[in-house]
């Protein structure tokens, strides 16, 4: 095998299996890094469908989705994520979660002649609705796992460097594409084929 191919294979193995710890589940990941105290706290689950997730055990749970499971009486509100603003005021939530969602949010679209970056826009919105000190949790299939590519609706391939380099200080390279916030990267881990990333909006 050519030396360049061996180096590429070594990088795949490192980023896919060795660069981060492995955890049994998102709940185990959260317990490792967060002292849970949901009393009086509020969480938003992006792309929630009919069953919003509440891994931080917040007292108030709100979901949002483009069309599936919308039920305002159950606190599940309609929003075209990455295209529309989240229907909530600034600094409203203690937690924002995204389970198996970000891989479906396009990186670039054109609406007429206007260029838009839905993934950047959604990260802006997550940052906007979080309180200072609030946490953002992403759980998504990621490179180099096969599941990141198999589903034809996966249009946004995340790596273990995406959040670190583009949305977290000191880099925030997504600023050149319109990202207006800044996060701190608290932790990352693999849970089976999914990459778990825990970010905090600085106080």
Residue 182 Cα distances to 101, 139, 155, 172, angstroms: 21, 19, 24, 7
Residue among 199, 190, 197 nearest 15 (CA) = 190
DSSP 149: H
Rounded to whole angstroms, the Cα distance separating 193 from 27 reads: 15
Higher pLDDT, 102 or 10: 102
pLDDT (average), residues 74-97: 96
Least confident range from 8-22, 92-106, 108-122, 130-144: namely: 8-22
Residue among 197, 159, 114, 172 nearest 16 (CA) = 159
Rounded to whole angstroms, the Cα distance separating 117 from 110 reads: 9
Q: At 127, is the pLDDT very low, low, confident or very high (cuts 50, 70, 90)?
A: very high
Query: Which CATH code for domain 23-200?
Result: 3.40.50.150
């Amino acid at each position: 095998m050519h030396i360049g191919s061996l180096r590429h294979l070594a990088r795949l193995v490192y980023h896919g299996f060795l660069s981060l710890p492995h955890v049994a589940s998102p709940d185990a990941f959260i317990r490792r890094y967060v002292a849970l105290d949901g009393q009086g706290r509020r969480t938003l689950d992006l792309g929630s469908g009919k069953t919003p997730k509440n891994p931080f055990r917040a007292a108030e749970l709100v979901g949002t989705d483009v069309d599936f499971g919308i039920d305002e009486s159950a606190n599940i509100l309609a929003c075209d994520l990455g295209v529309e603003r989240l229907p909530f005021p600034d600094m409203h939530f203690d937690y924002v979660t995204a389970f198996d969602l970000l891989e479906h949010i396009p990186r670039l679209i054109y609406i007429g002649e206007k260029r838009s970056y839905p993934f950047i826009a959604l990260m802006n919105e997550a940052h906007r609705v979080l309180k200072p000190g609030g946490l953002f949790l992403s759980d998504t299939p990621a490179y180099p796992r096969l599941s990141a590519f198999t589903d034809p609706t996966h249009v946004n391939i995340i790596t273990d460097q995406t959040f670190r380099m583009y949305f977290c200080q000191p880099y925030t390279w997504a600023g050149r594409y319109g990202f207006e916030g800044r996060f701190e990267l608290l932790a990352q881990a693999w849970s089976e084929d999914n990459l778990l990333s825990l970010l905090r909006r600085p106080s």
